[in-house]
Amino acid sequence: MGILAVCLGGALAAWGLSRVGIHQGYEPVQPIAFPHKIHAGDNKIPCLYCHYAARTSRHAGIPPASVCMNCHSLVEKQTVEIEKLKEAVQDLRPIKWTKIHNLPDFVYFNHSQHVLSGVACQRCHGPVEQMERVKQFAPLTMGWCLDCHREHAHVPVAAVPRAISTVAKNFNPVAGLDCTSCHY
């Protein structure tokens, strides 16, 4: 009985340690309740309208409140949350959003590489257009990322054949499988 308890305890401890740093399901309350369901879902505003930096930058970025005001200065419907937004803009006060998707410092992730490769935002962020409050959908673990890279890497892993294959595909980026694709 004692050996069974030790084995069970060890298995639970190993499972717990394997989950360190995984924040899947993390759904913090934000300073302004921003319903992606209304914006991206009901109103079909494309992700890249607000998160325009994702096309050209490593980071998708949080849009400045002025982007929100492109529509909300014209929309007549007023809510407490819209009033919070307008007050922040009027006071020139930045909104202190809580970051949801975090990767370790030793991981290099570039949004623009993924956006330009045609990876849908929902692949990593989940069905944001259905979320009242955004949460971390995917585990964002190395294994999870590698599964996606393997699925989309239709080229050899070795550098020279991969480079030739990339040129042959009109410079379309390919999902790398070598360590330096994601790690410094």
DSSP-derived letter for residue 41 is I
Q: How many other C-beta atoms can be found within 10 angstroms of the C-beta atom of residue 51? A: 20
Q: Quick one: pLDDT at residue 14?
A: 53
Q: Quick one: pLDDT at residue 22?
A: 78
Q: Quick one: pLDDT at residue 126?
A: 97
Give residue 81's identity as a one-letter amino acid code: E
* C-beta separation of 67 from 50 below 8 A: yes
Report how far residue 6's alpha carbon sits from residue 52's, in angstroms, rounded to the nearest whole number. 52
* C-beta separation of 176 from 146 below 8 A: no
The torsion region of residue 96 among left (phi > 0), alpha (psi -120 to 50) and beta comes to beta
131-152 per-position pLDDT tens digit: 999 999 999 999 999 999 988 8
81-118 per-position pLDDT tens digit: 999 999 999 999 999 999 999 999 999 999 999 999 89
Given a cut of 50, whether residue 158 has pLDDT beyond it is no
Biggest CA–CA distance in the chain, Å, is 70
Among 54, 51, 70, residue whose Cα is nearest residue 62: 51
* C-beta separation of 119 from 36 below 8 A: no
Q: What is the pTM of this model?
A: 0.76
Average pLDDT over residues 151-175: 57
Among 104, 100, 182, residue whose Cα is nearest residue 145: 182
13-64 per-position pLDDT tens digit: 555 544 546 789 999 999 999 999 999 999 999 999 999 999 999 999 999 9
Among 100, 148, 158, 86, residue whose Cα is nearest residue 120: 148
Q: Quick one: pLDDT at residue 161?
A: 53
